[in-house]
């Protein structure tokens, strides 16, 4: 049974039983605790927590997931994938344990003709939580599984959570017995290679707190409702129903392995080491493909680092198998063809996906080349020292500084007749990981405690009036001060105010929250400085009470600052125009990677591996302003998500859209996006958009910044004033200022060269006088001088060489310093005769560097350095005299 058929049967089984089909969310969701969606229930988390009311009582989905904690296990075991499809059915206060168990059993064991998977019931075992008698009884009495095939396990195995604060509960897992040829008898407790877990039924009824591990966390209390969350691994079921040995040999991944065989010349199935590499290529290519499709680009931290590591492991594995050139484009094309029927939207993105992956491969191949050269030097020095082993620190330097994988180091060391201190390497890696983990933990956002807002959520959603009105009357339904709900607040308090209705826009989609006032008939005046959403349902006005007091239940007038909103509308609509212009000029690969807009300013991040040339940026700016000048009507349409996508509306990565969405259309096909923000009514109201520049904000991500409206006008006015001032000062027309400045710059450079030449000549002319002033220190002559300010380090060195030559056969030392602002370049030279007495410039320079506030070094005849303490020249000279006398 092909993977796409398994997906289809799962969805049909549950939709026939009344479940609402929910499409997969992006791998990137706005959750501070997760890099990627790692479980099928993650998109439904607000429903389980009670932060949002689900629009359905039961649901079914096949969610794309990524887990990278076990990345080093990929290819070694038969069941680890970094990317996988989690099929799940969900109940939000509807059915509970019995419904979940019987639904799962019927799909697994019903015949293929009846829409099931046709699995032999005698091959299935189940586990339940230690104290869960209810689940065990259902399995035995309702389903009919013999008691000996029901095993009870502890919290680490049968109590589910996401590993972070959130929903949790006991679970029941279903295992498939592959047979005695795969391991020992005795059920999952005995051997989880023979008994493969295929479905986990979570009876979600509690909320967990902070803690580490799978069984070391606090249970905070019950969830608002008892819920069901199940997860069936599509890949695991596929490899069992397709009769292959592991998840890497299914219909979706085996084609990648076959392509790797063609490109490398190696054969799958001959050696365990090579098989692991083939599996790594297959698994990581698919994961990389899906991550890039959802907007991730390679980088050095967070999501970007995970993607970079995956792509580089593909390159490394292909090289170890024998590949000599680039392979990434072909691997990605195979994944496109195999996974396209399940995720057709990625097929249209393929050009961008391949471009990002190939760029990373090209960069890493250069890294491997430089790392190979360093390895060869390290190996040669190891042999020259009579050693047989590369140290752990040498292997670690290759890995950490040059990105050189350990297994390549091991292979090349063996070819060179050397060993590698793997234990030392792994110890250094462990120390690095510990530091990284501690750093990550210190920076990681804590899980937001939403419990204080729960009573307000239960009262219903905030009604947003701001699309049509800037003022409105509302009731104060919630007050939060210092993290606690209160009944009243007084003058001077910083408070969060929740109204049942509000015209204030809450920050979302890159648009900052509104500013304004909340007032009451009793004289209260509250200045609103920010507005945020809780659970996408509750508007929280963060404000300061400047006079009077506020109580629960009061009526209040809310008024948005009209200038703030006007500017915000201009910036947000301007962002849409910039996005559309970027895509027209750069192509559809310029995918949005983030944005921010506030009154008068916008910034827009987009995916690109290359900087945008200035002339191209000028084209984008002109196209943006031409579209604005065309005075296009701005239309907003509320429709279904499916119809919006059919209209060509673009959705943002990481956003979890509901069934009903809001489409903002500007100029027909010019710009059409899913957006919940506020906008101008026609494009001409945006005013001018003036680009400030384009820059990099990370690997594969570029940023455009711009002023909008009156801020753009003021910026241009300032620029015009500067140009006018320059034109007046240079006595040239404005259009000739650039040429005049270039001419003056060239003349200045030539004058500086001439001055330096004259300075060098003057120094050379004074060299004889300096030698005449040399003082005798013991048997040595010492020439010490602070030369005129502005003398470069190069001139100092040339003068020192000249003075050494003038000292002839005399044993002598030359010490020259210069003042260059707060810096002190210095040079110390030692004649041949002085070197014969044992003096070395490199040693002497260390004695004089400290008083100068710097450091230096060099060879026996000449050393130099720089300091930051001009007042220490006298002390440095005294130290030198003492050293020479010694």
Please tell me the distance from the alpha carbon of residue 882 to that of residue 853, in angstroms, as a whole number.
19
For Cα atoms 472, 474, 478, give the angle at the middle one, nearest 5 degrees: 140
Please tell me the distance from the alpha carbon of residue 411 to that of residue 390, in angstroms, as a whole number.
12
Residue 37's alpha-carbon distances to 158, 368, 577, in angstroms, are 21, 32, 31
The tally of CA atoms less than 13 A away on the side-chain side of residue 617 is 17
Please tell me the distance from the alpha carbon of residue 275 to that of residue 266, in angstroms, as a whole number.
10
Which 8-state DSSP code applies to residue 652? -
Query: Do the beta carbons of residue 219 and residue 206 sit within 8 Å?
Result: yes
Query: Do the beta carbons of residue 284 and residue 361 sit within 8 Å?
Result: no
Question: CB under 8 Å to 177, separation ≥6 — which residues?
Answer: 123, 124, 125, 194, 195
572 annotated ligand binder: yes
Q: Which secondary-structure segment (H or E) carries 745?
A: helix 737-772
Phi, psi of 342 (to 5 degrees): -85, -30
305: tokens are 């680092």
Instruction: Give DSSP secondary structure letters for 463-532.
Output: EE-TTT-SEEEEEEEEEEETTEE-SEE-TT-EEEEEESEE-PPPSBTTBPPP-EEEE-TTS-EEEEEEEE
817: tokens are 């310093």
Instruction: Give DSSP secondary structure letters for 366-419.
Output: HHHHHHHHHHHHHHHHHHHTT-SEE-HHHHHHHHHHH---HHHHHHHHHHTT-E
**Dihedral-angle region of residue 823 (phi above 0 means left; psi in -120 to 50 means alpha; beta otherwise):** beta
Residue with tokens 């391949």, as numbered in its chain: 354
Query: Do the beta carbons of residue 480 and residue 495 sit within 8 Å?
Result: yes
Query: Do the beta carbons of residue 508 and residue 677 sit within 8 Å?
Result: yes
Complete edge-to-edge strand list for the sheet that includes strand 812-818? 775-777, 780-787, 812-818, 824-830, 862-867, 855-858
Q: Kindly report the number of other CB atoms within 10 A of residue 397's CB atom.
A: 17
Residue with tokens 């979600």, as numbered in its chain: 204
Residue with tokens 């479980």, as numbered in its chain: 39
Query: Do the beta carbons of residue 138 and residue 127 sit within 8 Å?
Result: no
Query: Do the beta carbons of residue 525 and residue 517 sit within 8 Å?
Result: yes
Phi, psi of 266 (to 5 degrees): -80, 165
> CA end-to-end span of the chain, whole Å?
89
Query: Do the beta carbons of residue 78 and residue 246 sit within 8 Å?
Result: yes
Question: CB under 8 Å to 80, separation ≥6 — which residues?
Answer: 70, 73, 74, 247, 283
Which 8-state DSSP code applies to residue 199? E
Query: Do the beta carbons of residue 725 and residue 741 sit within 8 Å?
Result: no
Query: Do the beta carbons of residue 198 and residue 225 sit within 8 Å?
Result: no
Residue with tokens 């060269």, as numbered in its chain: 753
Please tell me the distance from the alpha carbon of residue 206 to that of residue 773, in angstroms, as a whole number.
89
632 annotated ligand binder: no
Instruction: Give DSSP secondary structure letters for 582-617.
Output: HHHHH-TT--EEEEEEETTEEEEEEE-SSPPPHHHH
399 annotated ligand binder: no
19 annotated ligand binder: no
Q: Which residues are annotated as a binding site for Zn(2+)?
A: 572, 576, 675, 679
**Residues contributing to the annotated binding site:** 572, 576, 675, 679
């Amino acid at each position: 049974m092909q993977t796409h058929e398994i997906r289809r049967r799962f969805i049909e089984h549950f939709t026939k039983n009344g479940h609402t089909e929910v499409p997969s969310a992006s791998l990137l969701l706005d959750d501070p605790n997760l890099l990627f969606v790692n479980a099928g229930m993650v998109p439904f988390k607000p429903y389980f927590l009670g932060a949002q009311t689900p629009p359905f009582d039961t649901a079914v989905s096949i969610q794309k997931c990524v887990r990278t904690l076990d990345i080093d296990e990929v290819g070694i075991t038969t069941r680890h994938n970094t990317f996988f499809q989690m099929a799940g059915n969900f109940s939000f206060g509807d059915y509970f344990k019995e419904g979940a168990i019987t639904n799962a059993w019927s799909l697994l064991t019903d015949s293929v003709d009846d829409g099931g998977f046709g699995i032999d019931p005698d091959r299935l075992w189940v586990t339940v939580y230690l104290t869960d008698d209810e689940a065990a009884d259902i399995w035995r009495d309702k389903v009919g599984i013999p008691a000996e095939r029901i095993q009870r396990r502890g919290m680490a195995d049968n109590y589910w959570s996401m590993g972070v604060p959130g929903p949790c509960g006991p679970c029941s897992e279903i295992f498939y017995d592959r047979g005695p040829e795969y391991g020992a008898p005795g059920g999952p407790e005995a051997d989880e290679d023979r008994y493969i877990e295929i479905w986990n039924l979570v009876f979600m009824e509690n909320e967990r707190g902070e803690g580490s591990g799978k069984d070391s966390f606090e249970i905070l209390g019950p969830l608002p409702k008892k819920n069901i969350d199940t997860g069936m691994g599509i890949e695991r079921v596929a490899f069992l129903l397709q009769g292959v040995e592991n998840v890497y040999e299914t219909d979706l991944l085996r084609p990648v392995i076959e392509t790797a065989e063609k490109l490398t010349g190696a054969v799958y199935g001959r050696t365990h080491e090579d098989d692991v590499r083939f599996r790594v290529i297959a698994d990581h290519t698919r994961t990389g493909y899906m991550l890039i499709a959802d907007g991730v680009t390679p980088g050095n931290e967070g999501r970007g680092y995970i993607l970079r590591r995956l792509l580089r492991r593909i390159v490394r594995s292909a090289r170890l198998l024998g590949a000599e050139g680039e392979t990434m484009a072909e691997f990605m094309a195979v994944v496109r063809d195999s996974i396209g029927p399940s995720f057709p939207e990625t097929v249209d993105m393929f050009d961008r996906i391949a471009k990002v992956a190939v760029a990373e491969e090209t960069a890493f191949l250069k890294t491997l080349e430089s790392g190979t050269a360093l390895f060869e030097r390290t190996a040669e020095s190891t042999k020259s020292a009579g050693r047989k082993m590369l140290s752990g620190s040498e292997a670690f330097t290759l890995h950490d500084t040059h990105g050189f994988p350990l297994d390549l180091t091991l292979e090349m060391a063996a070819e060179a007749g050397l060993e590698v201190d793997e234990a030392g390497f792994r110890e250094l890696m462990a120390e690095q990981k510990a530091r990284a983990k501690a750093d990550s933990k210190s920076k990681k956002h804590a899980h937001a405690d939403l419990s204080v807002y729960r009573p307000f959520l239960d009262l219903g959603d905030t009604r947003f009036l701001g699309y049509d009105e800037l003022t409105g009357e509302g009731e104060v339904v919630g007050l939060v001060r210092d993290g606690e709900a209160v009944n009243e607040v007084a003058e001077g308090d910083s408070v969060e105010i929740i109204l049942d209705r509000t015209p204030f826009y809450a920050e979302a989609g890159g648009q900052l929250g509104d500013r304004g006032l909340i007032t009451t008939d009793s004289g209260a005046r509250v200045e609103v400085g920010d507005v945020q959403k809780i659970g996408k349902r509750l508007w929280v006005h963060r404000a300061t009470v400047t006079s009077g007091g506020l109580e629960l239940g009061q009526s209040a007038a809310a008024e948005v600052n009209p200038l703030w909103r006007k500017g915000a509308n201009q910036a947000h609509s301007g962002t849409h125009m910039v996005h559309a212009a970027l895509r027209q000029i750069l192509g559809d690969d310029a995918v949005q990677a983030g944005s921010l807009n506030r009154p008068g300013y916008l910034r827009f991040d987009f995916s690109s591996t290359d900087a945008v040339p200035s002339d191209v940026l000028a084209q984008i700016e002109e196209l943006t302003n031409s579209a604005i000048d065309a005075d296009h009507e701005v239309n907003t349409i509320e429709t279904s998500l499916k119809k919006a996508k059919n209209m060509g509306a673009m959705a943002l990565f990481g956003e979890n859209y509901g069934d009903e969405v809001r489409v903002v259309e500007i100029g027909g096909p010019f710009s059409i996006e899913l957006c919940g923000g506020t906008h101008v009514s026609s494009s001409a109201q945006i005013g001018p958009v003036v680009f400030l520049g384009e820059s990099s904000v990370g690997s594969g991500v570029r940023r455009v910044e711009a002023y909008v409206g009156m801020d753009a006008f003021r910026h241009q006015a300032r620029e015009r004033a500067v140009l006018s001032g320059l034109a007046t000062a240079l006595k040239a027309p404005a259009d000739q200022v650039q040429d005049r400045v270039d001419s003056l710059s060239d003349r200045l450079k030539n004058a500086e060269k001439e001055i330096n030449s004259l300075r060098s000549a003057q120094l050379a002319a004074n060299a004889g006088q300096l030698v005449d002033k040399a003082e005798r220190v013991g048997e040595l002559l010492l020439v010490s001088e602070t030369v005129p300010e502005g003398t470069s380090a190069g001139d100092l060195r040339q003068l020192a060489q000249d003075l050494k030559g003038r000292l002839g056969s005399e044993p002598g030392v030359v010490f020259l310093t210069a003042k260059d602002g707060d810096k002190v370049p210095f040079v110390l030279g030692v004649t041949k005769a002085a070197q014969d007495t044992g003096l070395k410039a490199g040693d002497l320079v260390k004695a004089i560097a400290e008083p100068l506030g710097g450091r230096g070094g060099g060879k026996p005849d000449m050393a130099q350095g720089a300091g930051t303490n001009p007042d220490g020249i006298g002390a440095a000279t005294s130290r030198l005299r003492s050293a020479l006398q010694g």
